[in-house]
Every structure is written in C-alpha cells, then in structure tokens.
Structure 1
Amino acid sequence: MDLRGKKLLLLGGVQPTCQIIEEAHKMGVKVYVTDYLENSPAKKIADKSFMISTTDVDAVVELCKNEKIDGVFTGYTDSMLPYCQKICKKLNLPFWGDERNIDICIDKEKFKIACEKAGVPVVPWKKVNLKNYKEKIQDLSFPVVIKPVDSSGSRGVFKCYNKDEYEKFCEMAFEFSKKKELLIEKLMDMNSEISVYYMIYNGKTFLSEMGDRYVHAVNEESAPVGQGMTCPSRHLQEWQKQMESKIENFFVQNNMKNGFVFFQGFYENGNFYIHEVGYRLCGGFAYKYVEKFSGYNQIQEMIRFSLTGEMNISQLEKSNPLFYSNAFTLTLVLKAGKVKTIIGVEEISELSPIIEFCQLRFEGDSITTEGATTRVFAYILCDIKNRKDLTNLINEVKTKIKVLDEDGNNMLTEILYPEKVQLFYE
C-alpha cells in the first residue's frame, strides 16, 4: 500500500524518536509530534508540531480529528503506551496492544507472574511495599537488586549486598515508584546479560535478533550502564531450543498478536532467566542490524501497522537472527555534568566497520545520574569481521572521541575493553 501523504502523530519528541521520523519520511509519510515541551528534538524535524501533553487523551483525540490523522505512534517510553492505546481506541485506529497486555509489560510484578504462568523462567524475586518492606528482610538472601515495580530506564534501581544497606536502598527506590511497591530480585552475574527481539504479526512470531550485552558497574550500588552488545548471541541456538516455545506461549496467553517485543535476561549455568520486557521499540537502534543483515526495516513495518493495521508478511519472513557477520554496538555513556565540547564524531563515523554513529547527546546538554539510558551519549553500530577489526575500532574511539564538561573534564565513563568481548564469528 502506498503510504505517501498519510499523517502519523508521534507522541513524545525525545531524541531517539527522530529515527522514527526519518524512517516515516522515507515512506512519504507526514509526521506530526506532540508533547508539552517547546524544544523537543523531534519537533525540529517534524512536519508539524503541537504543545499538547501526550497524557491529555481527550485533547490529543480532538487534535487527531482536526488534523485528520491516519495513525498514532509512540516509540521508546513505557509510560506513553497506555495513553497511545487509549487514544487509538477512541479513534478506532490500529494499535499493537490492548489495555491488559500493555499493563503486563509495564508492571514488573504482573510481568513476572505472566511469565511464570506461561513457563518462562524469571530471575527469582519477591515483592515488598511501604508497609512490609522492613519485616520482609527476614525472607531475603543477599545480595539482591531493588527496583520499583513501575519504573523503566534503570531509574530507582539499586544493588544491595547486605542487610545493613537494605532499608536505605528501599527508601531511595520508593521515590521512583508511584505504587510504592518494589521488587527484590536475586543479583545475577552482570556479565551474562542477553537481549532478544521479536516481531509479531497476526499471531505469528518472528525471532529477529539476539545479542550478548556488556555492562559496566559505575559503582557498587547503582544499576550498571551499558557498554556494548554483540549479535548473534553465543547462546542463540540454546535459546531457540529452550525458550522459543515458552515465549510463543507467553504471547498467546497474553493476547499479544502484533508488534515489536524485546526481552532482557541472563544466561547462567545453562539456563535463561528473564527480568525485563518491552512491548515497544528498543532504544539501542537494533533495528538497523535487522535491516542490514535480514533486509527489512522493523520501524517502517510498525509505522505501516499504525497507519493501516497491516504489516508486510513477506518482509517479516526474512527474519534470521543468525546474522552472517558480527553486529557490534559500542555504547558510550556520560557522567553527570553539562556537555561543553564534543570532538571526533565525524572522524570516527567515517571508519569502515561503522554502519552508523547514533548520537543522542549534544553540546549544551545537561546530564544527570537519574537512569542509565538517559546518560547514553551515542550508540556506535558496527559490522565486525574479526577480532582485529574490533580491537582497532575500540582503540580508535578511545583515542579520538572526547566529550568535555565546562571545566574541561572528561565526561565519558569507562569504554568497553575489547578483551572482554566474545564474538560469535571469531
């Protein structure tokens, strides 16, 4: 179907959503953006923008009627999903999820219960609230991770190694929870993280990508920050053997028939343990690897669905997580401060292994320590043929990329050591 001239309303205009606008423009789609911020990055490249809060459902519905909007879309934020679903329902426009399965994928407790019901193994956990968190300490085995049931982006997540610190970290985590409820999870090996990506259309499941994540603990208490990811995962075949039928059962039980879904978890001692889900696009631009190695664009298919209720099944059937080369993402993360000077981006972007330098933070931006994902400076997407390519690339980045604060101090956190990376194709 020719989508040229169709109008897509995007809820929220944060920097990553600029990618959605660029993909929509390639399809000839007009993109409108609304949120309550005057200078949202996406508004600068949208065809039209509005100062209407995305949480004001009735006002957004009226906007859509007045502008004759053909589809409503949101990208990378869990909190936007319920509003987008309600707006689409009122306008009788396509949306990939329903009220129940969106809630399951946002509320961490409901997600774990749904996983257990479907036979999907999860990281061992317990739930506490303001009334009982002190007495529940007797039921815990340390170390643990403390996280709000209803937060995302690693906000309010703390590692706790003993009973003496437990109450302090719980009180800090409660500040990030509207429900004032926390999950207490077993602290897993942070060097065993995996991410898995699916497309679903009319109930048919397509495993499109699986990667091994590399993270760095900035300090002992906070959630680690990402350093990179390699695809295919070294555990891909084991995932397909152990987990594919369980994940498909999860989709069926929760009426998840369409959309983009990603899972995060751990692989330890021959077993998988899931701890996060996203029923939305993921923020690491992984879709660009699927486009390069499998030949179709996942964001464009999601845009197509939002405008028509359909995807191109022949495109989705190209999904093959066993890429023919190593897809490698190098993640650059910033310390807190205000960015004054950035050096080396253009030079690094021209290196042959690089598919794209996806920059999210710019000169003049202020960085806080609230949440790991908000501190990402850039994702460097690469096609790595061998270990020599990997080592050379990382060393070039360490030498040439500079992000300095107002006092001339380096703002980049530790960059991934090439020796730490295990490639699928060595």
Structure 2
Amino acid sequence: MKKLLLLGGDATLLPVIKSAKARGYCVITCDYLPDNIAHKYSDEYINYSTTDKEGILTWAEANKIDGVLTFTDSGVITAAYICDRMGLARLGSYEAIEIIQNKDQFRTFLRENGCNAPLFRKYTKRDMPEMEPLDFHFPVMIKPVDAAGSKGVTKVVAKEDLCSACEYALEFSTRKEIIVEEFIDPVGPQIHGDCFVKDGKIVFIYLGDHHFDAGINNLVPVSTTWPSVHSEETLKKVEQQIQMFINKVGFMNGCMNIESRISKADSKAYLIDVGARSGGNYTPYVIQYASGFNFIEAMLNFSMERKPYAQTVNKQGFFAYLVIHAEKDGILAKVTIDDRLNDKIVERHDYIPAGGHVRSFRGANAAIGIVIAKFDSMDEMQQVSNHLNEYIHVESIPLVV
C-alpha cells in the first residue's frame, strides 16, 4: 500500500484524505496539534511541527513514504526538502521553492530576471534605527518576509507611521526580517486564483477578484469571486508574468497560488505574491465548482503516480468564497446569514463554535468560517462580496479587560 504524508491537519485536508483513501493509499497527517480534525480521519498521525524538516525527513525515510503533500505555507518548504532528499515527486528544486516562499528572495528574483517587480528593500531589526527609504514614495507596503495570510502587513501613507508598522511586521516574522515595497495602485480589483503546472507549463489557470472589508483591514481578503471582472486581455498579462516567473525559477509541477495587480502607472501586471500551493479559504474547491478542474486528483496523480490527470474543464457560473469574520476581538455569540443567501450556499464551514474566542479580522488566520456560494449573475455576486456585512452578521461579546 502506498503511503501519503500530508503536512497539516485542518478541515481543508478532509477532501484530500477522502480522495487518497478512495485510491487505496495509507494517509498519514502531521502537525503539532493532535486535536486537529484531519487527524481523526487519517490512518495515522505523527506529532511534528510542519516546519521541522529534519525530524519529519528522518521519520519519512524510516517509514518509506511514497509522496508528500501540503496545502499550507508552513509546510511547503518542509515538503520540498523531504521530496528533494528522498527523490520523490516534487514541485521543483528545493532552492526554487525557497525563492517562492520567501518574500525578499521572491522580489529579488523577479527584479533580477526581468519580471515586473515593485521597488523594495529588506530590513532586519538591527536596521530599524537607521531605516531611511529615501527612494520610496508613500504609500508603501510593510510585510514580514516569511509570513502568510496577510499577517503583519500594513499600508503606510506617512513617514511618521513607518516605524510602528515595521515593529508590527517583525512580530510575525520568524527570521525577524521585513520588506518595504512601493504600493501598486491597481486598475480594478486585485487579481487572485490558482494555476496547475505540468513539466514547467501552465496547463490550467483560473483567476478571479479579491474583495476586502475596508472597515476592518483593506489588506486581508474577505472574498474571491470567479470569473473576474477584468478583461481576457488583462488576465493574459498576468498569466504571461506567471509563466515567465515559472520558466525562470524552475517550478515544474503542481499548484501555484497567485495574487497580482494591474498598475495604474504603467498598465503592467505585477505579481504581488505567489505560493507553491493552492490558495487558502477553500480556493481550489471553489475553482472546481466554477470550472470542473479537480486540484486534489491532479496533485495526487502527480505526487503518488507521477502521471497527469485527464480532466474536462468548463468555466461557467458565478462562484465565490465568503469569509465569516469579526470586526473586534470577543466571544462569539451568533452568526446570522441573511435569508437572501440561503439558496446560494453550496458549502459552509464553521471554524469556531458559539462561545469561542474570535479576533478582529486582521489576518487570514482570524477567519471564523467560510461559505462557498453560487450566484445567478455577476451583479448579484459583486453586490454580496462588496457588501458582505449586510449578508453575514457576526455577533460577539466584548472581552472584559
């Protein structure tokens, strides 16, 4: 029986486990949280941090694992390391995955290889007293080099707010490093989606539009909607930049998550972020509803069988994920979904029960749950995604200080 090691343990792995078991694989899940739900459905659980690449490699070699997959940022570099050392099916070289997963290396690589890249500079905590990005024009973006889900990210519009934003970003960086980069003022919404790569070529891609809750944080998406409102010509610009980056960096097989903007200044497509994994917030599952492309089966075939997975793709309909989120920290009392959404809901996933602690939605890890919805028209989908608080209401009890 072939053995599949999955790095992670949250609910998004349940469809992966189901598909892998249907193929007859033995499924092992791994993280340092034994109560995570995926471990209840896998054949075996091992307790390691998903960043412990040496420890997991030793276990994987001893247990003769046939494939390693992850759908979280924390496990991507570890999965690449194990596959590289064991000669398993891999996304690309370990060095390529490191470039993709680290924002400073990613930005440097883009600039040095002729891809469109915003002006940026890396700083460490030691640099902070002398920090003086004289060649930047405000606003600028402050980001930890090694955090995902928009954690620690701030848009700074004035110099006097720079240091506090940098200190905030450092809190989320394991390496205690940040980047300051120019803000790309976009034409239309930020573009987001997943693609699948086979032998270094994009064989499937579906890009949609990000939506944000400006009342809380205009940097953490509360929805992505498919299809995009951008023209095919515009989306082709993004795809060309992605393929150019893939060619240069040597990413060979598997999922890639993309965030991009079209600049008002020069009409070029800029890659804001990429990840060597499928997107969060159930992105690959929404795309499957919207197109028929099954990322799970494609990844299992690549990782465990080393062969392509034949698929019929038909992009149609209007689909979105909607993030259930709170405005302030507190204790969750109730989530109310407007009756107008009832017949639109395809799936609903609640992460936190009533009585649980909720946080202000300043990072993707503060989500209370996810709704996958199907709409009758583009206008209806845009109305809901742009005014989400009118359709999903979260009641919480303030924390007593």
Give the TM-score category using the shorter length: 0.7 to 0.9
Summarize the alignment of residues 24-423 of structure 1 with structure 2, pairs less than 5 Å apart.
Answer: 24-65=20-61, 67-77=63-73, 79-133=74-128, 134-189=130-185, 192-219=189-216, 224-269=219-264, 270-312=267-309, 314-315=310-311, 318-319=312-313, 323-337=315-329, 339-344=331-336, 351-369=342-360, 372-386=363-377, 389-390=380-381, 403-406=394-397
* Residue of 13, 18, 22 corresponding to 2:14: 18
How large is the Cα RMSD of the aligned pairs? 3.3
Which ranges of structure 2 fall in alignment gaps of 5 or more residues? none
Q: 1:367/1:341 Cα in 2 relative to 1: closer, same or farther (>3 Å)?
A: closer
Paired with 2:100 and 2:154, the residues of 1 have a C-alpha distance of 21
Tell me the residue number matched to 1:421.
none
Q: 1:348/1:35 Cα in 2 relative to 1: closer, same or farther (>3 Å)?
A: farther
Aligned residue type for 2:241: K
- How far the C-alpha of 1:49 sits from its partner, in A, is 1.3
| TM-score, normalised via structure 2 length | 0.85
- How far the C-alpha of 1:103 sits from its partner, in A, is 1.0
Aligned residue type for 2:376: K
Aligned residue type for 1:294: S
CA deviation profile, 1:289-339 (whole Å, cap 9, x unmatched):
332343231122112222122231x32xx456xx32222332222245454
**Number of aligned pairs?**
396
Aligned residue type for 2:352: R
Paired with 1:144 and 1:7, the residues of 2 have a C-alpha distance of 46
Aligned residue type for 2:230: H
Paired residues of 2:207 and 2:235 also in contact (CA < 8 A) = no
Tell me the residue number matched to 1:413.
none
Paired residues of 2:212 and 2:386 also in contact (CA < 8 A) = no
- How far the C-alpha of 1:359 sits from its partner, in A, is 3.1
Paired residues of 1:201 and 1:257 also in contact (CA < 8 A) = yes
- How far the C-alpha of 1:29 sits from its partner, in A, is 3.4
**Bigger CA drift: 384-393 or 105-114?**
384-393
Q: 1:407/1:218 Cα in 2 relative to 1: closer, same or farther (>3 Å)?
A: closer
CA deviation profile, 1:335-388 (whole Å, cap 9, x unmatched):
45454444557x979933322223333345433458511112223222222267
- How far the C-alpha of 1:258 sits from its partner, in A, is 0.4
Paired with 1:383 and 1:8, the residues of 2 have a C-alpha distance of 33
SS of aligned partner of 1:192:
coil
Q: 1:377/1:259 Cα in 2 relative to 1: closer, same or farther (>3 Å)?
A: same
**Bigger CA drift: 63-72 or 377-386?**
63-72
Paired with 2:133 and 2:229, the residues of 1 have a C-alpha distance of 37
Paired residues of 2:291 and 2:316 also in contact (CA < 8 A) = no
**Bigger CA drift: 299-308 or 183-192?**
183-192
| TM-score, normalised via structure 1 length | 0.81
Q: 1:404/1:309 Cα in 2 relative to 1: closer, same or farther (>3 Å)?
A: same
Q: 1:273/1:90 Cα in 2 relative to 1: closer, same or farther (>3 Å)?
A: closer
Identity of aligned residues (%): 26
- How far the C-alpha of 1:184 sits from its partner, in A, is 1.4
CA deviation profile, 1:145-181 (whole Å, cap 9, x unmatched):
1112222222221221211121222222223333333
Paired residues of 1:343 and 1:400 also in contact (CA < 8 A) = no
SS of aligned partner of 1:226:
strand
- How far the C-alpha of 1:389 sits from its partner, in A, is 4.8
**Bigger CA drift: 180-189 or 270-279?**
180-189
Q: 1:392/1:142 Cα in 2 relative to 1: closer, same or farther (>3 Å)?
A: closer
Which ranges of structure 1 fall in alignment gaps of 5 or more residues? 410-426
Paired with 2:374 and 2:322, the residues of 1 have a C-alpha distance of 11
Q: 1:178/1:328 Cα in 2 relative to 1: closer, same or farther (>3 Å)?
A: closer
SS of aligned partner of 2:132:
helix
Aligned residue type for 1:152: A
Aligned residue type for 1:354: I
Q: 1:170/1:267 Cα in 2 relative to 1: closer, same or farther (>3 Å)?
A: same
